[in-house]
Structure 1
């Protein structure tokens, strides 16, 4: 349950800065009722037009879809800022050390997105394995007179799934894969014995071992400097020619030029991507022209229930900060 907010000396609710209301990068209008119970909502446009009047009111920033952009200029213009709440699990769009230097805390919503993202991961796996999009085209085509009896796809049940990153989302994916009777391998910075026992997974100390054995390689890893382009030409060549790469983490975890080459040459069977770099891809990008690729618009957390929970978590983190309490889901700058 959300605890009460903090009124200022004039008895007004504290201000929260948002990119916009509605639109491509704005807070969804159906969430405004909940936000306005605790804060005065100020859009970036309003703030830019009335900086002197509004700067003192704003104590928090609400980041939705990586907007508004947080840089030194913005932070310098918000002297009373206490906390930045960012939707989702990824925080690669934020300079944590820079923000911390202003004495501002950062929080995200990692728990809220876990189940929905795991569902999306399995959707991509199943859709790619069973050639779902091609099947839909065949069924709906005006040129289809009969269904080809020998049109087949790949089996999921009993196949080997290699999960790179056994964090919250990776573990949820493993739970779902277990229900599909898949053999589960995982590669992680630390071995997670309790979780691997729960789903019957096997730990791979070396990434190469997982890549060589997996029919489906699932990327559910946090994006850092160390994981940038973790999957490149060498790693793709280690995979089976019949394997599929699935990415629900961040686009930059994969060397996309190398991925295009691997898909064109048949070094791997297919790819299913909910994330790319950049987002969206340029309309003439080679990945968009390949028939053995599924690309979705970073929609892992895009369910009504999950988005509402994300809003609640963000509000809670802000209220914690304004009430001088430990901040829920605070992200350390270290």
Structure 2
């Protein structure tokens, strides 16, 4: 019987039961809490499934028989791709499973930031709603405004569909390649990044994290945006220079931000982002729904089984 080790929670009792049935399975919801047992399990592991723990070469050296890592995630920036390629270890992910729910999160952030939902909701909870809201607390309309998508992949396209078909928003996008299918579907128009920043009322970042996209947004990019623009990040925290974002918000270079990801996670309680009322800050919940996490677990388990049984996976990264 092949040996499989989890490296973080697998959010499906059904999948966990199947893993127990199929394999000699060692479950580690918090691997570093019992590091010695975790490393001992890796020594004979044929496969791994999970996503919470970043895996580096030093850790994976403890798994000499490893054939596959089935990541319960779309992003793969937690994995040493060159090392895995050199060792011939297959890496799979779950890109399709997260598309729609992450787009829901992105558009929710856009709406919340535009309409000041967190700020005004807290006003009610604090007992501060004693008269009609005046102009100093007005938000912004969303319908009919221009949306700029930075990275028009699966998730970016899903956000754009919500904007175009649901809210009548013109869509601009920037990226490495043209997307003629999306241009035809929802009239997206490709423009250079700096032009997008200058024209868009809402900017939503959906790019994967890589050496090329690290700190893609800094002082220059925020300075190019409109003063009444709303910035949304559902990509990865390190795509944004957080200090530059804080400065742009504090100095009024942009109006508001909706964030689900951060350079450091969990976001420290003393982060200057949390001192800005125009920031909507969520705890990286892009895919955190009952249905989506269960689908991600099922998808990852199917990928794991395919590789261990000598079949081609549906979502190979390597």
Q: TM-score, normalization: structure 2?
A: 0.92
Q: State yes or no: 1:112 paired with 2:111.
A: no
Matched position secondary structure for 2:248: helix
- In the other structure, the counterpart of 1:320 is 306
Q: State yes or no: 1:169 paired with 2:155.
A: yes
Matches of 1:53 and 1:91, distance apart in 2: 23
Higher helix proportion (structure 1 or 2)? 2
Q: State yes or no: 1:198 paired with 2:185.
A: yes
- In the other structure, the counterpart of 1:22 is none
Matches of 2:42 and 2:151, distance apart in 1: 43
RMSD between aligned alpha carbons?
2.0
Correspondence for 1:223 among 188, 209, 217: 209
Q: State yes or no: 1:55 paired with 2:39.
A: no
Deviations 1:293-330 (A, max 9, x none): 11111100001111111111111111111111112211
Deviations 1:220-258 (A, max 9, x none): 011110111111101111100000110000011111111
Matches of 2:268 and 2:235, distance apart in 1: 20
Matches of 1:288 and 1:18, distance apart in 2: 34
Q: State yes or no: 1:84 paired with 2:69.
A: yes
Distance 1:49 1:186, change over 3 A: closer
- In the other structure, the counterpart of 1:5 is none
Contact 1:47–1:55, Cα closer than 8 Å, also in 2: no
Structure 2 portions without partners, runs of 5+: none
Matches of 2:38 and 2:109, distance apart in 1: 46
Structure 1 portions without partners, runs of 5+: 1-7, 9-13, 20-24
Correspondence for 1:142 among 110, 127, 143: 127
Matches of 1:281 and 1:53, distance apart in 2: 31
- In the other structure, the counterpart of 1:309 is 295
Structure 1 stretches of 4+ with a deviation exceeding 4 A read: 44-47, 50-54
- In the other structure, the counterpart of 1:129 is 114
Matched position secondary structure for 1:326: coil
Q: Return 36-45 or 305-314, whichever deviates more.
A: 36-45
Contact 1:47–1:54, Cα closer than 8 Å, also in 2: no
Distance 1:47 1:319, change over 3 A: farther
Q: State yes or no: 1:248 paired with 2:231.
A: no
Q: State yes or no: 1:294 paired with 2:294.
A: no
